Amino acid sequence: MEKVKLVKKWIAGNKLEFGILLLILVVGAFFRLYRIGEYMTFLGDEGRDAILVRRLLVHGDPILIGPGTSIGNMYLGPLYYYLMAPALLLAAFNPVGPAVEIALLGVATIWLVWYVARVWYGKIAAGVASALYAIAPTVIIYARSSWNPNIMPFFSLLLVFSVWKFWRLRTSRWVIVTAVTFAATLQSHYLALILGPIIVLFWFLTFISLSVKTTEISDRAPLTKFLKNSFIGLFLFIILMSPLVIFDARHGWNNFNAIKVFFSQRQTTVSARPWTALPKLPDLFLQITARLLTGYNEFVAKALLVLISVPSLLFLLLMKRVPKNETSGNFILFVWIGLALVGLGIYKQHIYDHYFGFFFAAPFLIVGALGGEVFGHLNRVGKTLSILAFLALAGVNLVANPLRFPPNRQLARSVAVAERIEELAAGEKFNFAVIAERNYEGAYQYFLEKNNAPFIIVDPLRLDQTVAEALFVVCELPPEKCDPTHNPKTEVAAFGWSKIEEQWEEFGVTIYKLAHSQ
């Protein structure tokens, strides 16, 4: 109740700032929620997740393991599935529900970017950072689909802020938040391991600082409280990670061994020498800037890098009037960025945009901090130029806004194709397969299973019991590239010698009905 009064008091005293924040949140929510069912990604991975969560809700099937990673045959923990379950249930098993949940979490992340920047750097920095974050195309794209990496931006920022809280402000209960958010990010994507050194470094700095100050019995309370909360956090971390550990123990520690192989056999995965990241830093800086700050525009990204790295930093270093804010997050922010660059630099494979999720907010905080400091020490002409520069950067992002492009309508396609196959099957049992470049059965299978269609999943160990009389193949390639009777996919090959009985066009894909030829 007291906090509510404080919030009301702050709003009454900061009406303009509150109005700007509200506008930023509304714009951010619009970009994430508008026609979300048409724009959201819904392919094999999303369908697979929806299938598992629906089985949990409908049949009570417990989930002990999360999604598999794209390399290394490793699996994440199942926390994301349990976060996804309430939204899927509330949406009556419509996959739009979990996508909306992610979008709302994305809006919450905008607010968190504003709040962290406000605490560390002031109102101008908070407005700049949160406004740019709200309209960044890459951030929007990954904030409107249900996918495990998409929760990372929120939890990673909360993690870093919680570390700052117990390190700088000595509010030791925040170490519990650190442990919980680390478990959440770690079960979102294993790149969250890069956040581990941040936790360890600042935990030890805090421990040493509190230990040095503990000279008498009366001084022990802060250290004792810090250690107590650290053990509580560790306990909660273990509880949240335990389903994955239990599953791994029951299956010969396959996941642990896969992680071990990933880091021990480094020819094609990661380098053990951090300095090998140095030659990659210029390209990484440019990629991060272009993908997150400048709406994929590399020319503007190069210009922004120059503005950030040369005039702004020199200004901050030489301007004696810049106050030393002992509670700023500069140190932890640059440690965060530094570890991210090293971690991505020693990674030897292709870096996708969602790999940046564990530090999505960091570049925006840097730009906000620099913008706020520079703006505060310029004359009227300089302020005008700064505002124009901000508007230009915002304009570049708005030009690349995802809503300017047609929706993919992947969810509608999955529904339409699944219903068409169900209609064509006419109640008879059938097998099912998908031929595509970047998709597989999960999206269509979710609706077939949800509608209780009589399809059978092929089991290579029980072919006599799981191969039906008909096989429906959905081909998303051009018809001349389909050739469904000779495709090497397990679902097709296991069906045996086959022939095309009929084919149909539906929602831009070709549906084939195959029958046994012998």
What would the pLDDT profile of 427-456 be if each residue is shown by its tens digit?
999 999 999 998 999 999 999 999 999 999
Answer whether residue 20 shows pLDDT above 80: yes
The number of beta carbons lying within 10 Å of the beta carbon of residue 20 is 17
Mean pLDDT value of segment 112-118:
97
Tell whether pTM > 0.85.
yes
Mean pLDDT value of segment 475-483:
93
Mean pLDDT value of segment 366-381:
80
Q: Between 426 and 215, whose confidence is greater?
A: 426
Mean pLDDT score of the chain? 89
Q: What is the C-alpha separation between 398 and 394, in angstroms, rounded?
A: 6
Answer whether residue 308 shows pLDDT above 80: no
pLDDT of 216 reads 58
Answer whether residue 236 shows pLDDT above 70: yes
DSSP state of 270: B
Q: What is the dihedral of CA 75, 477, 457, 470, to 10 degrees?
A: -170
What own/partner pairs with CB < 8 Å and gap ≥ 24 does 206-214 have?
206/166, 206/167, 206/170, 210/170
3-state secondary structure of 475: strand
Answer whether residue 144 shows pLDDT above 60: yes
What sign does the CA torsion over 391, 300, 332, 348 have? positive
Phi/psi for 95 (5° steps) reads -60, -10
pLDDT of 389 reads 86
Residue type, 88: L
Per the structure block, which two tokens stand in for 4?
């509510």
Q: What is the C-alpha separation between 72 and 131, in angstroms, rounded?
A: 38
Mean pLDDT value of segment 292-321:
72
Pairing of strands 509-516, 431-435: unpaired
pLDDT of 327 reads 63
pLDDT of 322 reads 44
Answer whether residue 323 shows pLDDT above 50: no
For the chain, the structural domain boundaries read 2-401, 410-516
Contact 132, 393 (CB under 8 A): yes
